[in-house]
Structure 1
Amino acid sequence: MACFSKNQPNALSSDSQEIILLDGSWKLALDSNKSLKTIPVLSDLKFDSSVVLPGSLSENKKGTLNNNHEVWGNLSLLYSFEGTAYYQRTIIIPANWNDKRIVFKMERTRKTAVWIDGKLIGTNPYLSTAQLYELKNLKPGKHELIVAVDNMVKEHPAGRSHMNEESTQTNWNGILGQIQLEATPKIFISKIRVFPNLKKKQATLELTLNNNIGNAQKGKIKIITTSFNSARKHTPKQVVFDFTINESNEKVEATIVFGEKMLLWDEFNPTLYQTKVFLELENGDTQQLERSFGMRLFTQNKSQFVINRNTTFLRGKHDACVFPLTGYAPMEVKEWVRVFKIAKNYGINHYRFHTWCPPEAAFAAADLVGIYLQPELPCWGELDAQEKGVSFKDINAVAFGSEKTKKGKKFNSKIKTQAEKYFQKDSEHILDDYGNYASFVMFALGNELKGNVEVMERLVDEIRSYDSNRRLYAQGSNNNFRDPKKGKNDDYFTTVRTSAKTWENYDNNTRISYSRADQFDGGIVNHLRPTTRTNFSKALQNTKVPIIGHETGQYSYYPDYNEIKKYKGVTKAWNLQLGEKLLKEKGMYKQWPDFFKATGKWASILYCEDMESGIRTPGFGGFQLLDLQDYPGQGTAIVGPLNTFMESKRTITPKKWREFSAPITILGEFDQYTLTAGEEFLADINIANYSNKNLKGKLSWSVKGIGQGEFMFSSKQGMISNAGQIKIKLPNLKEAKQTTLYLKLNGSKIIKSYPLWIYPVKKNIVIPENVIVSKELDDSTLRKLEAGGRILLIPEHDAIKENSVGGLFMTEFWSYKMFYKIAVNKGVEPSPGTLGLLIDDKHKALKGFPTEYHTNWQWWSAVHNSRPIILDDAPNGYKPIVQSIDNMWRSHKLGTLFEFKVGKGSVLVSSIDLTAIENTIEGNALYQSLLHYVGSNNMKPKTEIKAEELIRLIYK
Structure 2
Amino acid sequence: MIATINLEGIWEFQLDGEKQGFQKSLNDTIALPGTTSYARKGKRNQAAHEGSLTDEYEFEGWAWFSRTVDIPEELASSNVMLYLERTRVTTVWIDGVELGTQNTLCAPHLYNVTGHLAKGVHTITVRVDNTNYPTKGGHMTSRDTQTNWNGITGRMELQFYRAAYLDEVRTFPNIADRSVTVKAKLIGASEGVLSVSAASVNSTSQHEAAMRTYPVSGSEFEFIYPLGEDALLWSEWAPNLYKLKLELKQADAVTDVHESLLGLRQFKAEGGDFTINGAKTFLRGKHDGLIFPLTGFAPTTVEEWLEVLGTAKSFGINHYRFHTCCPPEAAFEAADRLGIYMEPELPFWGTVTDETYENHNETEQQYLIQEGYRMLQAFANHPSFVMMSLGNELWGSKERIDNILKGYKAYDHRPLYTQGSNNFQFVPVILEHEDFYCGVRFSRDRLIRGSYAMCDAPLGHVQTGPQGTMKDYDDAIIPQSLDSVDSVNKETDGGTIQIQYGTEAKTVKADAAEGELVPHIPVVSHEIGQFQIYPDFNEITKYTGPLKARNFEMFKQRLEEKGLDHLAEKYHISSGHLAVESYKEELEAAFRSKHLAGFQLLDLQDFSGQGTALVGVLDAFMDSKGLISAEEWRTFCSDAVLLARFPKYNYLSDERFEASVQLRYLRPVPLSGFKLQWELKAEDLPLASGEAIASVSGSGEFVDICQIEFSMPSVSSMTKTTLHLRIAGTDIRKSYELWIYPNHIEVDKSGVSLFEELTDEAAALLEQGERVVIMPKLKQLQNTIEGTYCVDFWCYPMFRSISESMNKPVPVGTMGLLIDHEHPLFKYFPSEMHSTEPWRQIVENSRSIILDGTDKELQPMVQTIDNFERNHKLGMVFECRVGNGSLLVCVLDAEQAGETVEGRQFLHSMFHYVRSDDFHPQANLELSKVRELLA
TM-score relative to the length of structure 1? 0.91
Provide Cα deviations, 1:76-135, integer angstroms capped at 9, x if missing partner.
000011111121111222211132110000000001111112211111111111110001
Alignment of 1:243 with 2:222, yes or no, is no
CA distance in 1, matches of 2:253, 2:278: 46
> 1:775 maps to which residue?
756
Alignment of 1:336 with 2:316, yes or no, is no
* 3-state SS of 1:192 partner: strand
How far did residue 41 of structure 1 move?
A: 6.0
CA distance in 2, matches of 1:667, 1:54: 49
How far did residue 715 of structure 1 move?
A: 2.6
How far did residue 785 of structure 1 move?
A: 2.3
**Contact 2:105 2:137 (C-alpha < 8 Å) held by counterparts:** no
Structure 1 residues 238, 877: CA separation in 2 closer, same or farther (over 3 Å shift)? farther
CA distance in 2, matches of 1:533, 1:365: 38
How far did residue 781 of structure 1 move?
A: 1.2
CA distance in 2, matches of 1:881, 1:578: 27
1:812-891 matched pairs, under 5 angstroms: 812-891=792-871
CA distance in 2, matches of 1:762, 1:524: 31
For 1:741, give the aligned amino acid: L
> 1:189 maps to which residue?
166
For 1:489, give the aligned amino acid: H
Provide Cα deviations, 1:263-287, integer angstroms capped at 9, x if missing partner.
1111111110011111122284521
> 2:713 maps to which residue?
731
> 1:901 maps to which residue?
881
> 1:91 maps to which residue?
69
CA distance in 2, matches of 1:157, 1:383: 14
Alignment of 1:543 with 2:519, yes or no, is yes
Provide Cα deviations, 1:195-234, integer angstroms capped at 9, x if missing partner.
11111121111222122xxxx6443211110001112000
> 2:469 maps to which residue?
532
CA distance in 1, matches of 2:595, 2:663: 14
Alignment of 1:157 with 2:134, yes or no, is yes
How far did residue 60 of structure 1 move?
A: 1.7
> 2:667 maps to which residue?
691
Provide Cα deviations, 1:893-912, integer angstroms capped at 9, x if missing partner.
11111111223322211122
> 2:508 maps to which residue?
none
**Contact 1:739 1:757 (C-alpha < 8 Å) held by counterparts:** yes
Provide Cα deviations, 1:652-679, integer angstroms capped at 9, x if missing partner.
1111111110100000100011112221
**Contact 2:590 2:598 (C-alpha < 8 Å) held by counterparts:** yes
CA distance in 2, matches of 1:840, 1:637: 27
Alignment of 1:311 with 2:280, yes or no, is yes
CA distance in 2, matches of 1:244, 1:699: 62
**Contact 2:562 2:853 (C-alpha < 8 Å) held by counterparts:** no
Given candidates 16, 29, 32, the residue that maps to 1:53 is: 32
> 2:515 maps to which residue?
none
Provide Cα deviations, 1:491-537, integer angstroms capped at 9, x if missing partner.
111101122x24xxxxx1111111112113x3211223422011101
Provide Cα deviations, 1:411-439, integer angstroms capped at 9, x if missing partner.
8xxxx922222122111111111111011
> 1:353 maps to which residue?
322
* 3-state SS of 1:602 partner: helix
Given candidates 429, 444, 456, the residue that maps to 1:518 is: 456
For 2:926, give the aligned amino acid: K
> 1:788 maps to which residue?
769
**Contact 1:808 1:831 (C-alpha < 8 Å) held by counterparts:** no
Of 739-748 and 938-947, deviating more is 938-947
Structure 1 residues 474, 839: CA separation in 2 closer, same or farther (over 3 Å shift)? same
1:119-518 matched pairs, under 5 angstroms: 119-138=97-116, 139-152=118-131, 155-211=132-188, 217-245=190-218, 249-253=219-223, 255-282=224-251, 284=253, 286-383=255-352, 397-398=354-355, 402=357, 407=358, 417-467=362-412, 469-499=413-443, 501-502=444-445, 508-518=446-456
CA distance in 2, matches of 1:473, 1:829: 36
Given candidates 698, 701, 720, the residue that maps to 2:678 is: 701
CA distance in 2, matches of 1:564, 1:208: 52
For 1:125, give the aligned amino acid: N
* 3-state SS of 2:313 partner: helix
CA distance in 1, matches of 2:642, 2:134: 48
For 2:264, give the aligned amino acid: M
How far did residue 398 of structure 1 move?
A: 4.8
**Contact 2:2 2:162 (C-alpha < 8 Å) held by counterparts:** no
Provide Cα deviations, 1:802-848, integer angstroms capped at 9, x if missing partner.
x1111121111000010011111122221121111111112222222
* 3-state SS of 1:868 partner: strand
CA distance in 2, matches of 1:287, 1:877: 78
> 1:752 maps to which residue?
734
TM-score relative to the length of structure 2? 0.93
CA distance in 2, matches of 1:194, 1:846: 66
CA distance in 2, matches of 1:763, 1:877: 33
* 3-state SS of 1:105 partner: strand
How far did residue 595 of structure 1 move?
A: 1.1
* 3-state SS of 2:669 partner: coil
Alignment of 1:664 with 2:640, yes or no, is yes
Alignment root-mean-square deviation, CA: 1.6
**Contact 2:758 2:934 (C-alpha < 8 Å) held by counterparts:** no
Where structure 2 has 5 or more consecutive residues not aligned to the other structure, the ranges are 479-517
* 3-state SS of 2:567 partner: helix
* 3-state SS of 1:576 partner: helix
**Contact 2:771 2:886 (C-alpha < 8 Å) held by counterparts:** yes
How far did residue 17 of structure 1 move?
A: 4.3
> 1:21 maps to which residue?
6
Where structure 1 has 5 or more consecutive residues not aligned to the other structure, the ranges are 1-15, 35-39, 385-396, 503-507
For 1:531, give the aligned amino acid: G
Structure 1 residues 72, 357: CA separation in 2 closer, same or farther (over 3 Å shift)? same
* 3-state SS of 2:455 partner: coil
**Contact 1:218 1:282 (C-alpha < 8 Å) held by counterparts:** no
**Contact 2:15 2:63 (C-alpha < 8 Å) held by counterparts:** yes
* 3-state SS of 1:609 partner: helix
How far did residue 758 of structure 1 move?
A: 1.2
**Contact 1:185 1:285 (C-alpha < 8 Å) held by counterparts:** no
**Contact 1:839 1:852 (C-alpha < 8 Å) held by counterparts:** yes
CA distance in 2, matches of 1:244, 1:730: 78
CA distance in 1, matches of 2:269, 2:252: 48
How far did residue 766 of structure 1 move?
A: 2.7
Provide Cα deviations, 1:831-874, integer angstroms capped at 9, x if missing partner.
12111111111222222223211111221111111111111222
> 1:596 maps to which residue?
572
CA distance in 1, matches of 2:912, 2:746: 14
CA distance in 1, matches of 2:831, 2:251: 81
Structure 1 residues 953, 316: CA separation in 2 closer, same or farther (over 3 Å shift)? same
* 3-state SS of 1:219 partner: strand
> 1:7 maps to which residue?
none
CA distance in 2, matches of 1:420, 1:892: 47
**Contact 1:838 1:883 (C-alpha < 8 Å) held by counterparts:** yes
For 2:164, give the aligned amino acid: I
* 3-state SS of 1:27 partner: strand
How far did residue 158 of structure 1 move?
A: 2.3
> 1:392 maps to which residue?
none
* 3-state SS of 1:329 partner: coil
**Contact 2:9 2:33 (C-alpha < 8 Å) held by counterparts:** yes
> 2:503 maps to which residue?
none
For 1:67, give the aligned amino acid: Q
**Contact 1:687 1:715 (C-alpha < 8 Å) held by counterparts:** no
* 3-state SS of 2:868 partner: coil
Given candidates 682, 685, 694, the residue that maps to 1:713 is: 694
**Contact 2:789 2:844 (C-alpha < 8 Å) held by counterparts:** yes
* 3-state SS of 2:248 partner: strand
